[in-house]
Structure 1
Amino acid sequence: MTKFSEEQWIDWVDQLSQNDFVVIDDFLDKQLFESIRTYFLDRLEMDGFSDAAIGALNHKQLEKSIRGDKIYWLERKNDLEMESFFQLSDELIQQLNQLCYLSLSGCEFHLAHYPIGAFYKKHIDQFKGRSNRLISVIIYLNVGWKPGDGGELKIFKENGGELLVEPLAGRCVMFKSDTVPHEVMKTQVNRYSLTGWLLYQPSTLGYLLG
């Protein structure tokens, strides 16, 4: 499966290498976007989402003052409707391995629902003592987002600056999991995304922090 040209991949990887993050619009084509969004809404209607926690392993806890999203963990062998997305994630891993020599060998993804009023305070995705998360990936599934709706991703740059990323439909944000502090601003509408990590090795620790 080859969705993008070699030149596109090189440009995105260059941005990721230089800035520690990259924003890609229209990462999902219309058909894939609609299929993922439909699957998301089906799982939401079936009440398949759980409150997201913070911390890892025995330190996991619910803390609404830090994050208020609900998540549904995806498993490739069970969530067969998501296979086209997993094929795209395979291509992403292959390209990053070829261009960056990252030795990525797996991924973990979940669907994330931020209800009205939810947010996620400033944090870094990589845990102490768990270094297999290398690249964070967020793909937005909102339709008709407009200024004032909230739910933007705030990226804290190394030079002290900040970047506010609007959660536009089909937009993908990738960043280094261990070096990029970020937060999700309070949302005024239901906010949907597909979020996960590209791993140095497949996770054997179970699903920790979403």
Structure 2
Amino acid sequence: MDALSLHDYVIIDNFLDAGRLHTVQSFFQSHLDVFTKAGIGALGDHTIRKDIRGDFTYWLDRQRDTELQDIWSLIDETIYIYNRYCYLGLSGYEFHLAHYPKGGHYDKHLDQFNNRNNRTISMVIYLNKHWQQGDGGEMEIFLSNGSSLLVEPIEARCVMFKSGTVPHAVLASHKPRYSLTGWLLQQPSALGQFLG
């Protein structure tokens, strides 16, 4: 919590224990055939822009994806800790699995839509077995002092950052890159605060 407050981001290695990691990796592989091309924007603004974003996603649903109960419990615990120690008033979440095929990337952006601003904390957990330097797919976090930080997508590493204030990008992946990615919300996603 202190690191996030000070730097607007935090990196935590070994965020998932071996059991949770195996569960989500197995679930990921068994659902790869139902992933869809990711776009940008929400609702009526949603468009596919391969020049900006090259990943495929599978949106998770707690009622449907019951195999991930241990992951849902971890998300609940994370929300509880943020609310207890940071008083963020988090009351919901939205998560998907993200697959960046070879060459996939995501240009510099904020994790906030033009028409709603309820994403508060972004959370990325990497699921890449045996990732090595040169495999690509790093997250580049753009810092307020004009420099940037490269975060290697190492298995079980979690990156959390303030959704509306931390610009970031995903560099081109040189082999398939997998993650569990989501947002902790101040209001449920269907009730986002609309910006006029």
Q: In the alignment, what sits opposite 1:103?
A: 89
Percent identical residues: 55
Q: Tell whether 2:152 aligns with 1:152.
A: no
Matched residue SS, 1:15: helix
What's 1:37 paired with?
25
Q: 1:176 and 1:116 mapped to 2: Cα distance? A: 28
**Aligned equivalent of 1:123:** 109
Distance 1:112 1:177 in 2: 17
Q: Distance in 1 between matches of 2:42 and 2:67?
A: 29
Moved over 3 A (4+): none
List alignment gaps of at least 5 residues for structure 2.
Answer: none
Aligned length: 192
SS of 2:149 mapped into structure 1 = strand
Distance 1:59 1:30 in 2: 39
The CA deviation at 1:128 is 2.4
The answer to whether the Cα contact below 8 Å between 2:41 and 2:114 also exists between their aligned partners in 1 is: no
1:136 aligns with 2:122: yes
Partner Cα distance (2:58, 2:76) in 1:
20
TM-score, normalised relative to structure 2: 0.96
1:59-81, Cα deviation, whole Å (9 max, x unpaired): 11101000010000000000001
State the alpha-carbon separation in 2 of the partners of residues 109 and 55 from structure 1.
16
The CA distance in 1 between the partners of 2:43 and 2:73, in whole Å, is: 29
* Aligned residues of 2:136 and 2:175 also touching (Cα < 8 A): yes
Shift of 1:205: 6.1
How far, CA to CA, are the matches of 1:82 and 1:106 in structure 2?
A: 17
Rounded Cα–Cα distance in structure 1 between residues aligned with 2:22 and 2:28: 10
Instruction: Name the SS for the 1:87 alignment partner.
Output: helix
**Is 1:167 paired with 2:153?**
yes
Matched, 1:56 2:51: no
Q: Measure how far apart 1:201 and its partner are.
A: 1.1
Give the match for residue 3 of structure 1. Answer: none
SS in 1 for 2:34: coil
> Per-residue displacement from partner, 1:171-206 (whole Å, max 9, x unpaired)?
000000000000000000100000000000111169
Partners of 2:166 and 2:175 in 1: CA distance: 26
The corresponding residue for 1:15 is: 3
CA distances 1:120-156 after superposition (whole Å, capped 9, x unpaired): 0000001223111000000000000001000000000
- Give the root-mean-square deviation of aligned CA atoms: 1.0
| TM-score relative to the length of structure 1 | 0.90
Per-residue CA shift, 1:71-126, capped at 9, x if unaligned? 00000000001110010000000000000000001111000000001000000001
Give the residue type in structure 2 aligned to 1:40.
F
Separation in 2 of the partners of 1:181 and 1:205? Answer: 24
Deviation at 1:56, TM superposition (A): 1.9
Task: Tell me, in whole angstroms, the C-alpha distance in 2 between the residues paired with 1:22 and 1:147.
Answer: 21
